[in-house]
Structure 1
Amino acid sequence: MDNMFVIQLVLMGVIIYFFMIRPSQKRAKSEREFESGLKVGDRIVTKSGIHGKVSELSDTTMVMETMSGKLKMERSAISIEMTAKLNAAAK
């Protein structure tokens, strides 16, 4: 009986790792790669829905040019999904 309980616990741990932890680690890695690959002139969309173009970059922040002016924000505020769609539509 005890061996079966241990096997069930291990199996639940493996399932949680492959369905919850691993995908979030992959997503975080792709977001870091995206943020580090930004260039001046890239068209982007923030997670809050603001559209613009990158005009300045620093280590953790960036300046985005919009139709109404410039905004300084964190690089992590950019939406990967929306940026990919926006750049695909522009091509």
Structure 2
Amino acid sequence: MQFLPLILIFVVFYFFMIYPQIKKNKAQKKFRESIGKGDKIITIGGVHAKIIDANETTFLIDSEGTKLRIDRTAVSMEASQALNQPAKEEKK
């Protein structure tokens, strides 16, 4: 009976801290697997580029004539998704 509060604290901690992080990691992994040649991306360092070649672990990107090879994990999911979404019209 004295362990019940400790167990409840762990369960609450799991659902508010650990589970959302696991869910976010799965979404990032799915995003990285879905992008490929021709997609526009933004790296976690802020480089805006277009993918010109992709393999299992890296991308070859072109940013205004400069070619770079980056790791798949260096692509920012949030920024890249925002870049590829059409602009929303402002309501008057």
TM-score, with normalisation over the residues of structure 2?
A: 0.89
TM-score, with normalisation over the residues of structure 1?
A: 0.90
Shift of 1:22: 0.4
Structure 1 or 2: more helix by fraction:
1
Structure 1 counterpart of 2:64, one-letter code: M
Shift of 1:39: 1.6
Q: Deviations over 1:45-83 (max 9, x none)?
A: 001110000011010111111014111010011001101
State how far apart, in whole Å, the 2-side matches of 1:48 and 1:38 are. Answer: 18
CA RMSD of aligned residues (A): 1.5
Does the alignment pair 1:6 with 2:38? Answer: no
Match of 2:59 in 1: 62
State how far apart, in whole Å, the 2-side matches of 1:53 and 1:62 are. Answer: 10
Structure 1 counterpart of 2:24, one-letter code: R
Does the alignment pair 1:38 with 2:35? Answer: yes
Does the alignment pair 1:79 with 2:76? Answer: yes
How many residues matched? 88
State how far apart, in whole Å, the 1-side matches of 2:12 and 2:25 are. Answer: 20
Runs of 4+ deviating beyond 4 Å:
none
Unaligned runs of 5+ in 2: 88-92
From 38, 42, 47, give the equivalent of 1:50.
Answer: 47
State how far apart, in whole Å, the 1-side matches of 2:30 and 2:8 are. Answer: 32
Identity percentage of aligned residues? 34
Match of 2:18 in 1: 21
Q: Give 3-state SS (helix, strand or coil) of 1:33's partner.
A: helix
Unaligned runs of 5+ in 1: none
